[in-house]
Chain A
């Protein structure tokens, strides 16, 4: 087998540049393997995040040839021949080399109102597979934040981070909205403070999701519909005036009391 060349961005918040590393090719390797070999030999201070190396933790998200990818799940032999360019995620501030400051996401997580379930009956809640599956899809999220990285609302507009939660948190809000046990209502919050309206459903987030979550179709669009139903439907508007908290449909209250 021949050689592989990685063109890796090296630097910190004050600036940096690309550096080329050429190594012998290894069988079946992923990009993270090559980065590890560089770390173990010529650049022991090359910074990158990784944990599980199995596509389950979402730590090693970077941009490979300009596309958000997990380094641990990107086989070298699936990339076009020639130099492979590895850069940090563009949407977040640089810490060092391939490591970015993703604290924006943790700050957004703190603003999510928690699940508010009814008291648990003796022997546990009863929920049905069909009812939990919708939220289960969103709970597959490994928090790689590549959907946040690719979302142009914040990728190209730093100022929007103040009032835009981003796709990762839209699926979190959708998950809670569709959670069979939840009694909280977050629709006003999502509309007013989380900037759901800024999303113009270009589906970039769905395309990069390593868990293949249908972020746009299954989370953002239904969430937009619920917000619209609540705010612009005159009947719902009146209902809301009378009773502050109302769910969109009875199907959401799928908690079955024990016989």
Chain B
């Protein structure tokens, strides 16, 4: 099919990304008898999924029998401020329990209830205790389970291999990709009948982030460049509790499980301030005194929820306000206190990684002292616009699942809904790709012109004898995005960001790289920067258009949600044949209409 002059591999299904979604997609496609290849920028088992701590949301009803998919659906839509692709939220709520039970058949060992079922914990925005978990290392359990399953099935995994660009056939279908091996810098091409993007998030474009170096939005950007649409890119989740000190670990995640297990937020005056920040939408179900909130932990019928367990966008904004009002901690955060509320033994058993993390990195014993925490860039709700059933994008042969896909979480994601998203839609991507291949109209050729263009661009920094250091550009970009398109936004700052991003595009085209191609992190970063810029541009453009505050998008100049903007998602696209630094177009598209029977579920809650 191809006459690639580079090392070349052919697959039925090619999966880019080896986190939870990519691995789950691989298992599904493999089980359907397809030849599957997985490409990952890192080693297998190191994906950002390991950072997920709290759990997997699934309405199994093991702790509260009243729980069911309808309540989970309702919680997800409310958490997303109704910007969600309702069908994704519905499928997710319905299928999550089966996906969790499936993990047990592959070796996962969750914590148990007294009668031997999977134990479920409380989390923000979830009406019932719903998160299947293993202490505070649930992401590791998920990745290891899927990794071991994939390995036992004999799947090809290309590790430390960075994909540069998707390749089309002459009819505009996706035909594969071009990549390079990080170990030696040699190029490699892959042709495939279907490609699944499972590349995760974009958080590395912000200064204070819980994301690893990999979160550069490669899949978001490659989909955009290949002709797919991105939606809701302005909706970025700032997790309320990241470490703030020492500076070197600022942004490192502190699990919501701390609050689910009884931890409370206090300001410098010792006040449990979240009671002052309960939005009308959540007032009916939120406790109005500390006594009532504290009763709830043991019995959800004995009181209403503590305000610390409001959805993440609400809590992050509240912390931000407290710090700005001068009631913050010495290092610019607030206090998260579990030490005064639970015994040392319980804390160490329920939150072992958190204990370890604070002890070793900050010298803080969380069984004795409060933690200093503040918001950190954590997750992007926006992503590639996909079909709920199949995860298909607008480009034939291209699918997307997990954080890279948009729609499922609307304007704000509930904690625990990401791991379940990965396994529900990872599986659906595998099915979607298999059905697409079965239908027969797959790529017939492979555009070597696109391959050569991508390679020429990747090698350009070696040609320049003088130019910019890619690390300087990355640092400046992170600072610019943090201050101009951060947790609280305003028109003048967003406009400034849009102007600045064009300058960054020029700077990226003037990078000079020292050293060779073999395992050269400076060069690797230079090839990540175009993705970071494309994604940041979409975020800034979406932020400018959405003149309201909703979920993970807060405008100082438009502090309230508006009914008008609640009816649209903003979609970004590039014209066919455009380059990554060309002008992106941004257009409103109507939010999917929720059918009457599901609307009734949402009305009940109001």
A positions within 8 Å CB-CB of B: 12, 26-30, 33, 39-41, 44-59, 73, 75, 95-97, 99, 101-102, 106, 109-110, 112-115, 117, 120, 123-129, 132, 135-136, 139-143, 176, 179, 181, 256
Could you tell me the distance between the alpha carbons of A121 and B513 in the complex, rounded to whole angstroms? 58
- In the complex the two chains form, is A106's CB within 8 Å of B44's CB? yes
Q: Could you jot down 23 A-B contacts, CB within 8 Å?
A: A30-B248, A39-B521, A41-B471, A44-B520, A46-B521, A47-B518, A49-B43, A52-B48, A52-B212, A53-B212, A54-B357, A55-B353, A95-B183, A109-B151, A117-B105, A123-B117, A128-B112, A129-B111, A129-B112, A132-B112, A139-B144, A140-B137, A181-B105
Set of chain B residues within 8 Å of A40, measured between Cβ atoms: 469, 471-472, 475
Residue B360 contacts which of A58, A73, A126, A143 (CB distance < 8 angstroms)? A73
Minimal Cβ-Cβ distance residue in B for A98? B519
B249 within 8 A of A: yes
Could you tell me the distance between the alpha carbons of A33 and B86 in the complex, rounded to whole angstroms? 43
- A contacts with B: majority SS: loop
B470 within 8 A of A: yes
- In the complex the two chains form, is A28's CB within 8 Å of B117's CB? no
Q: Chain B CB within 10 Å — which of A57, A58, A143 has the most?
A: A57
Residue A56 contacts which of B42, B115, B353 (CB distance < 8 angstroms)? B353
Could you tell me the distance between the alpha carbons of A127 and B134 in the complex, rounded to whole angstroms? 14
Minimal Cβ-Cβ distance residue in A for B41? A51
B positions within 8 Å CB-CB of A: 42-48, 50-51, 60, 101, 104-107, 109-112, 115-118, 134, 137, 139-141, 144, 148-149, 151-152, 154, 159, 183, 212-214, 245-249, 252-253, 353, 356-357, 360-362, 469-472, 475, 513-516, 518-523
Residue B50 contacts which of A52, A115, A117, A256 (CB distance < 8 angstroms)? A52
Set of chain A residues within 8 Å of B148, measured between Cβ atoms: 109, 112, 114-115
Seed contacts A39-B471, A51-B46; 15 additional CB < 8 Å A-B pairs:
A28-B245, A39-B521, A45-B520, A47-B519, A53-B212, A55-B356, A56-B50, A57-B45, A57-B51, A58-B46, A73-B360, A114-B152, A128-B112, A139-B134, A176-B107
Residue A45 contacts which of B50, B139, B247, B516 (CB distance < 8 angstroms)? B516
- In the complex the two chains form, is B151's CB within 8 Å of A59's CB? no
Residue B212 contacts which of A30, A46, A51, A126 (CB distance < 8 angstroms)? A51
Set of chain B residues within 8 Å of A55, measured between Cβ atoms: 353, 356-357, 360
Could you tell me the distance between the alpha carbons of A29 and B362 in the complex, rounded to whole angstroms? 10
- In the complex the two chains form, is A59's CB within 8 Å of B43's CB? yes
- In the complex the two chains form, is B253's CB within 8 Å of A136's CB? no
Set of chain B residues within 8 Å of A125, measured between Cβ atoms: 104, 116
- In the complex the two chains form, is B247's CB within 8 Å of A28's CB? yes
Minimal Cβ-Cβ distance residue in B for A56? B50
Could you tell me the distance between the alpha carbons of A256 and B154 in the complex, rounded to whole angstroms? 31
Closest CB of chain B to A64's CB: distance in Å?
14
Set of chain A residues within 8 Å of B516, measured between Cβ atoms: 45
With A57-B50, A124-B60 known to touch, is A44 a contact of B104 (CB < 8 Å)? no
With A51-B48, A97-B519, A99-B519 known to touch, is A179 a contact of B107 (CB < 8 Å)? yes
- In the complex the two chains form, is B51's CB within 8 Å of A136's CB? no
Top 10 A-B pairs, shortest CB-CB distance? A28-B246, A44-B522, A45-B515, A126-B116, A114-B152, A40-B471, A47-B519, A96-B519, A115-B107, A51-B212
Could you tell me the distance between the alpha carbons of A222 and B154 in the complex, rounded to whole angstroms? 30
Residue B109 contacts which of A56, A112, A139 (CB distance < 8 angstroms)? A139
Closest CB of chain B to A214's CB: distance in Å?
14
Set of chain B residues within 8 Å of A28, measured between Cβ atoms: 245-249, 361-362
Residue A47 contacts which of B115, B117, B118, B520 (CB distance < 8 angstroms)? B520
Set of chain A residues within 8 Å of B213, measured between Cβ atoms: 50-51
Q: Chain A CB within 10 Å — which of B60, B183, B214 has the most?
A: B183
